[in-house]
Structure 1
Amino acid sequence: MPAFARKILLAVQAVIALTSLLGGGALIVGATAGENLFVQGLRADYLEGSPFTSYLVPGILLAVVVGGIHLTAFLMLKRRSHGSVFASAVAGFALLIWIFVQMVFIPFTVLQAIYFAAGLAEIGLVLLMLGLFTDDEAPEA
């Protein structure tokens, strides 16, 4: 397992876990307080056509699903637990799915592109950690 890929993946997972937990928490607090106290630019009309009437459920999903999966993958990778690479792949795909679904309901923002790129980076780093891009066992030509 390349050490540089592991370190970069840990950093990406930490940032995504932290921002997902904080962002989800802000959506939850904003929804329960009756106004968006912490998140600027989120309008109620973004929820039109979605299954949600407030940002409460999206906030819970963001914190628990995206943030929770990334936190779990981070902790597993940090401890070098068995299955940590699989958990990291799941976290990367969870982020990509989150962004795909989000873009169905919310107009495109640069932040979506950044997080999509982060999800792709996670998948790429997992592939590096699995040794997919090494020439160690290249077939003879």
Structure 2
Amino acid sequence: MKTVNRVLAALNLFVGACAIVGGLAAIISPEEPFGITVDLLKGTPFDNYLIPGILLFIVIGIGSIVSAFLLLRYDLKYQGYISSVFSWAVIIYLVVQYIMTDLVLPIHILLFIIGIVEVALSIVIINKQRQSSFQS
């Protein structure tokens, strides 16, 4: 179980770091983060990348890092659920982003796959916790 927690924590840290970098870029330069112009946002509810950047930074960035910290530091009853929420947030964010912009970069594909792996590992943790609670 410790191995699953460590792998999931490492993935959470990676996703969180990527989201913080991407979110900060969008917050600092909402008109053109990483050279991506606001032209991609035509037909979306956003005029620039500020709101998506804030969501990316707070929900996925900070959320994933907090989840990793909790995985490594504490043995919480609901840790699998906590990790699952932030893993699904990554997947949903990327799907919505694609639907709105039609933009897919290699990092998006990587993060989508990692999100799926995180959900699977979260389910492993949830099942292990359920089994141990039934045996107690």
Q: Cα deviations across residues 17-58 of structure 1 (Å, max 9, x unaligned)?
A: 111111101111112xxx53x513x12211101111011111
Query: 2:52 pairs with 47, 53, 58, which one?
Result: 58
Q: Residue 93 of structure 1 corresponds to which residue in structure 2?
A: 88
What is the distance in 2 between the residues matched to 1:130 and 1:59? 31
Among the aligned pairs, what percent are the same residue? 26
For structure 2, the 5+ residue unaligned runs are 129-136
Q: Residue 117 of structure 2 corresponds to which residue in structure 1?
A: 121
RMSD of the alignment, in Å?
1.6
Q: Residue 28 of structure 1 corresponds to which residue in structure 2?
A: 27
What is the distance in 1 between the residues matched to 2:69 and 2:107? 25
- Mapping 1:1-141, distance limit 5 Å: 2-31=1-30, 35-36=31-32, 39-40=34-35, 42-82=36-76, 83-106=78-101, 107-131=103-127
TM-fit CA distance, 1:108? 2.3
Whose helix fraction is larger, Structure 1's or Structure 2's? 2
Q: Residue 137 of structure 1 corresponds to which residue in structure 2?
A: none
TM-fit CA distance, 1:80? 1.8
Conservation of the 8 A alpha-carbon contact between 1:20 and 1:66: yes
Conservation of the 8 A alpha-carbon contact between 1:72 and 1:87: no
Q: Cα deviations across residues 80-131 of structure 1 (Å, max 9, x unaligned)?
A: 2422221101011111110110111222222221111010010111122234
Which one has a bigger Cα radius of gyration? Answer: 1
- What TM-score results when the alignment is normalised by the length of structure 1? 0.81
Q: How many residues align?
A: 126
Runs of 4+, deviation exceeding 6 Å: none
Give, as a single letter, the amino acid of the residue that structure 2 aligns with 1:80: Y
For structure 1, the 5+ residue unaligned runs are 133-141
Q: Residue 133 of structure 2 corresponds to which residue in structure 1?
A: none
What is the distance in 2 between the residues matched to 1:81 and 1:61? 28
Give, as a single letter, the amino acid of the residue that structure 2 aligns with 1:95: V
What is the distance in 2 between the residues matched to 1:14 and 1:113? 17
Give, as a single letter, the amino acid of the residue that structure 1 aligns with 2:67: A
Q: Residue 132 of structure 2 corresponds to which residue in structure 1?
A: none
- What TM-score results when the alignment is normalised by the length of structure 2? 0.84
